[in-house]
Amino acid sequence: MSSLWCVVPAAGRGARVGGDTPKQYLPLAGRPLIEHTLARLATHPRIAGVMVVLGAGDERWPGVERIGGKPVLTTIGGAERCDSVLAGLDALPNDVAADDFVLVHDAARPCVRAADIARLIELAVPAGGGLLGAPLRDTLKRADAAHRSAATEPREERWRAFTPQLFRRGELAAALRAAAASGLKPSDEAMAMERAGHAPLLVEGAEDNIKVTTAADFALAEFLLDRTA
């Protein structure tokens, strides 16, 4: 079975965590958060290599060139996550063809399960692309400016999007470029692909594939690390 490259957007500032150090470099179980994520990806049998997208002038990147025997390449990202993903796609090795599928996975998601990555590849490749996610399981409220519940929104057919997301290199790059040209800043790859007329497959994954977003998420991620390995 062929293996895929994975673009890892890691050029964010982690503003919602606070502090001067971007969250991907903050300690999680004794190691920088990003190292856990890269270890998960690089040791996966279906992943050929990782392209880490760094912030400009990022001195915190340890400069590793291989993890788990897999190549680790780097490039510089942009102002928004979508810009960073596009930069990562453009920087992939030339032997990654336009029709080859590529994964995109947030550096901020260190607890992704290997079985979920395998299942995404198994189901989304024949479907032309897709993403891990989970159906909403809570009642959904629309808040007004005073944080009052203004309405209860339908939760049927509503999913939370996770990463990895998986698409053909050329189609995803074209969709991201088209979105950028229209002034849209897609919050995930699937949004750009939907806008380009594709219908990404939703593949249900474990809800413990959390995105470390606030300081409180570090304790939860540390609790989950060993339980999701």
Ligand X SMILES: C[C@](O)(CO)[C@H](O)COP(=O)(O)O
Ligand Y SMILES: Nc1ccn([C@@H]2O[C@H](COP(=O)(O)OP(=O)(O)OP(=O)(O)O)[C@@H](O)[C@H]2O)c(=O)n1
Binding residues (CB under 6 A) for ligand X: these are 81, 106, 161-163, 187-188, 211
Our finding on whether 209 is near ligand Y (CB under 6 A) is: no
Going by C-alpha positions, the residue among 33, 164, 198, 3 that lies closest to residue 93 is 3
Question: What is the nearest approach in angstroms of ligand Y to the Cβ of residue 2?
Answer: 26
Residue 178: C-alpha distances to residues 55, 157, 173 (Å): 23, 27, 9
Considering CB distances under 5 to 8 angstroms, the limit depending on partner class, which of ligand Y, ligand X, none binds residue 185?
A: none
Our finding on whether 49 is near ligand Y (CB under 6 A) is: no
Any idea which residue has 């291989």 for tokens?
66
3-class state of residue 27 by DSSP: strand
Considering CB distances under 5 to 8 angstroms, the limit depending on partner class, which of ligand Y, ligand X, none binds residue 79?
A: ligand Y
Our finding on whether 79 is near ligand Y (CB under 6 A) is: yes
Q: Who contacts 157 (Cβ-Cβ below 8 Å, separation ≥6)?
A: none
Compute how many other C-beta atoms are within 10 angstroms of the C-beta atom of residue 66: 11
Instruction: Work out the angle between the directed axes of helices 169-181 and 81-91 (0-180°, nearest 10).
Output: 140
Chain residues 87-116 in contact with ligand Y, contact rule CB under 6 A: 106-108
Specify the stretch interacting with ligand Y by CB under 6 A; choose among 74-82, 110-118, 125-133, 189-197. 74-82
Residue from 40, 44, 81, 168 touching ligand Y (CB under 6 A): that is 81
**Binding residues for ligand Y, per CB under 6 A?**
9-16, 22-24, 53, 77-81, 84, 106-108, 211, 213
